Amino acid sequence: MSWPAPLLITLGDPAGIGPELVARAHLTGHLHDAVLVGEPSVFERGLRACAAGPGVGEEGRSVRTQPVFIKPETVVLDPVQRDEPSLPVPPSPRPSAGAPMQPHDWAGLPFGAVDARCGAYSARCLNAAVELVRRGQGRAIVTAPIHKESLAAAGLSFPGHTEMLQAWAQPSGPAPQVRMMLANEELRVVLVTTHQSLRSAIEAITYERVLTTITITQVALKAWGLERPRIAVAGLNPHAGEGGLFGREEIEVIAPAIAAAQAMGILADGPHPPDTVFMRARHSPQRSGAYDAVVAMTHDQGLIPVKYLGVEHGVNITLGLPFVRTSPDHGTAFDIAGRGVADPSSFLAAVLMARRLTGTA
């Protein structure tokens, strides 16, 4: 019998809740088909955090095996990937007093603080995971949360996971067009713009970008088994512009992109008023939603309704990559990091989604 390549799990920012989410998932037996890309000492921080918090329950008591690790510095990156940026494993942090820490020993790093070393480390782990999945040594990547300020402190120009994945997804040729989807059992939302100021996001909403987002959404939904997916496109302005009274983006940009998508045979319609379209698309036990996904114009417009339904259920999926990547729909939660109280539900949902999308659930 041939076994599928493993899921590749990155541990996220060492100062955040990522290591304890991964540790709790391991302790409860949910990572049986996974390899962890990162340093064992970062994972051990998560184990200690779990020990400090509520127990993992009876189902975790029988898990005694050590997970399999791939240390990021052992993965030789494609030379093209080293252009932006070159990411050696950062030097180990030193405690505030006493002897220097041993290499790759993160035990004394404070939880809940922005740190350039954490930003460089989390990016290096992701870059190694991308290289492994490109080689066929992993079937999907599941990423624990990273911190954008730590990335910036490390001198990295990427605002988040999505942009790094786009830059590193293929060794040559143009970077793939990617989009962020946030999904749960009730709602799927795909974003035209993501991590940028609202003012710059509005300027970035172009005919080409809206049309590309619709087509990427169509391709992803069809790959997941929806033969004729129904896609609603939200407007940008209140009441979808009210015929131009509240803005002309719907008339001049969004509606023409929808028309072009329809001419391609895509079941897209709109622009719909943003304050009602998500309710219409929502699938609930009481009724089936009118749409299979909503294309939203900006980050908060699209993510607020999904997260309102429950952060613990949401999964972030990067569409347009040549491989599957999922993550929880929340951040590093510095305020509770290290206390062992972080809810692993969204991370576990991301693991399950990666299995579903690779046909191994």
Q: Range(s) for CATH 3.40.718.10 in the chain? A: 1-176+325-361, 185-309
Q: With pLDDT > 90 as the criterion, what percentage of the chain qualifies? A: 71
DSSP state of 6: P
Which pLDDT score is estimated for 297? 98
Mean pLDDT rounded to a whole number for the chain = 88
Considering only CA atoms, which of 2, 18, 5 is closest in space to residue 336? 18
Sheet holding 179-183, edge to edge: 69-70, 34-37, 7-10, 140-143, 324-328, 315-319, 179-183, 188-191, 293-296, 230-234, 267-272
Orientation of helix 161-168 relative to helix 116-134, angle to 10°? 40
pLDDT tens over the chain, length 361 residues: 355 799 999 999 999 999 999 999 999 999 999 999 999 999 999 999 888 777 665 444 445 578 999 988 888 776 555 444 444 444 444 333 333 434 455 878 889 999 999 999 999 999 999 999 999 999 999 999 999 999 999 988 888 899 899 999 987 778 899 999 999 989 999 999 998 999 999 999 999 999 999 999 999 999 999 999 999 999 999 999 999 999 999 999 999 999 999 999 999 999 999 999 999 999 988 889 999 999 999 999 999 999 998 877 889 999 999 999 999 999 999 999 999 999 999 999 999 999 999 988 7
Considering only CA atoms, which of 211, 121, 197 is closest in space to residue 159? 197
User: How far apart, in whole angstroms, are the C-alpha atoms of residue 336 and residue 328?
Assistant: 16
Q: Tokens for 255?
A: 């509606």
Q: Does domain 1-176+325-361 have CATH number 3.90.1640.10?
A: no
Which pLDDT score is estimated for 1? 37
| Architecture of the structural domain at 185-309 | 3-Layer(aba) Sandwich (3.40)
79 upstream amide cis, omega within 30 of 0 = no
User: How far apart, in whole angstroms, are the C-alpha atoms of residue 215 and residue 252?
Assistant: 19
Which pLDDT score is estimated for 3? 57
Residue 9 and residue 23 in contact, taking contact as beta carbons nearer than 8 Å: no
